[in-house]
Amino acid sequence: MNKHLEQLVLLSKIDQEIDSFEPKIDSIAKNLKDTENKISQINTQISDLELEIEDVKNQKIQNNLHISEFSAKIKELGKKSGSVKTEKEANALKIEEDIAKEQLDSANDEIIRLDKILENKELFKKELLEKKAKEEQDIETIKANIKTRMEALEKERMDVYAKKTKLVEDINFKVLSFYEKIRKWAKNTAVVAVKKQACYGCFMKIYDKTYLSVIKGEEIVTCPHCGRILYKEQEDKS
């Protein structure tokens, strides 16, 4: 294989390796992001729950005021019952007192209902706070793990960059410029193998004359269809 072509094949593989670090970094950080999102969701739930708890407490305050009002009214009606003069007045007073007692019972029942709701919401809040504490504890472990893995990944990346720097120093400037020009649009497929007489960049069959030149490997050959740099790779005969 032509020396320049051999260098470009190697350079292309190194560039592919360099570009592969970004998804690796994203993958390492994903667990942290997922945990942070969980904590954020829990915080939103807690915030919403606290508003609901406050609303229930306000309802209890209103109901307790009504209970005080109804109790006072019943007491007042009791005092009036001793001074009624006619049966009509007594009946009217009795009806009013019965209504006030029904309202008092209803208000007391509502307090019991609100207490139960409040108890359940407070219990749910406690569970959320415990869950949040666990996630926050986990996140510290995740961060420590990420730091270790990122340091190892960074060292690996620096080694690959050093390998590329050394290689680039030996590549002819015009050849390197030609490669970089193709790489601008082809990204990590600037240099591709030819298999079964097809370009593995655009997957189009290449002409016999071009294919022969690729097989010889004496010069840099580009795909007549897409313009990528081609090289012959051993085909699997199995």
The average pLDDT across 70-76 equals 90
pLDDT category of residue 238 using cuts at 50, 70 and 90: very low
Burial class (CB in 10 A: 0-12, 13-18, 19+), 10: middle
* Nearby residues of 225 by Cβ (< 8 Å), 6 or more positions away: 199, 202, 204, 206
The average pLDDT across 136-161 equals 91
- What pLDDT shows up at residue 167? 96
| Report field, pTM of the whole predicted structure over 0.75 | no
The average pLDDT across 97-121 equals 94
What CA–CA distance (Å, rounded) separates 11 from 178?
13
Strand partners of residue 198: 195, 205
Determine the distance from the C-alpha atom of residue 201 to the mean position of all C-alpha atoms in its chain, rounded to a whole number: 33
- Sign of the alpha-carbon torsion through 104, 105, 108, 113: negative
Q: Is the pLDDT of residue 237 over 90?
A: no
Q: What percent of the chain has pLDDT over 70?
A: 98
Mean pLDDT of the chain: 92
Count other Cβ atoms within 10 Å, centred on residue 156. 13
Write the pLDDT tens digit of every residue in 172-203: 999 999 999 999 999 999 999 999 999 999 99
Q: Is the pLDDT of residue 53 over 90?
A: yes
Tokens linked to 43 = 């915080």
Q: φ, ψ for residue 38 (rounded to 5)?
A: -60, -45
- What pLDDT shows up at residue 4? 93
